A = this chain, B = another copy of it.
């Protein structure tokens, strides 16, 4: 695992990040002020209710954004990948984080000071617009999730979650601990396991060790759309 900080200009995640809207000089500036940071699998990047001091830009790895209940149950709101920003909304509104970010695998991310982020916002209209679009997408996705939780039984939500994750991972294979998959779907481990077991029996997916592979995405989509 590389521990050297990547350059923003040549970072593999650059094309997927909003920083690709920056001018060369802006990029240069961010590159100078950012600090690279490595997070081991399971490590917490920031906590719900903590105060933000910087923007995170994912260079590699996978991160879950989640809320936890007093009962200890976790609801994953989103899974973030390389190129994604983390914590921008808390910075924009100047409020504490309202979810926790945890590395799901070894993750490398760059930390950009709040001041640089704010400067960029004010100087680069395209960047600001893209950020607005991003926040709109967050809102829409969360609202979709609300409807989904309300309308669909676990089976439908599992189907949808698998499709969503496959898109996010850009692969038809999903490798996520059962517990996390359950938290993403909004259920408990045991129920999730029974549900994917059914899908396996129906030959819509295969399960090899922890890896879930989507065989028939159309059927999954159909199961998911049975309700909404």
Contacts and interface: CB of A to CB of B under 8 A. Distances in A.
Interface stretch (A27-35, A138-146, A163-171): A138-146
A136 interface: yes
Dominant secondary structure of chain A at its interface with chain B: helix
Interface in A45-78: 67, 69-71, 73, 75, 77
Contact of A227 (B70, B128, B139, B151): B70
Copies of this protein chain in the complex: 2
Interface residues of A, number: 36
Interface of A: 67, 69-71, 73, 75, 77, 89, 92-93, 98-99, 128, 131-133, 135-140, 142-147, 149-151, 186, 225-228
Given A67-B143, A149-B186, 13 more contacts: A70-B228, A71-B227, A77-B146, A77-B147, A92-B133, A92-B136, A98-B140, A99-B143, A132-B135, A135-B136, A138-B139, A145-B146, A150-B186
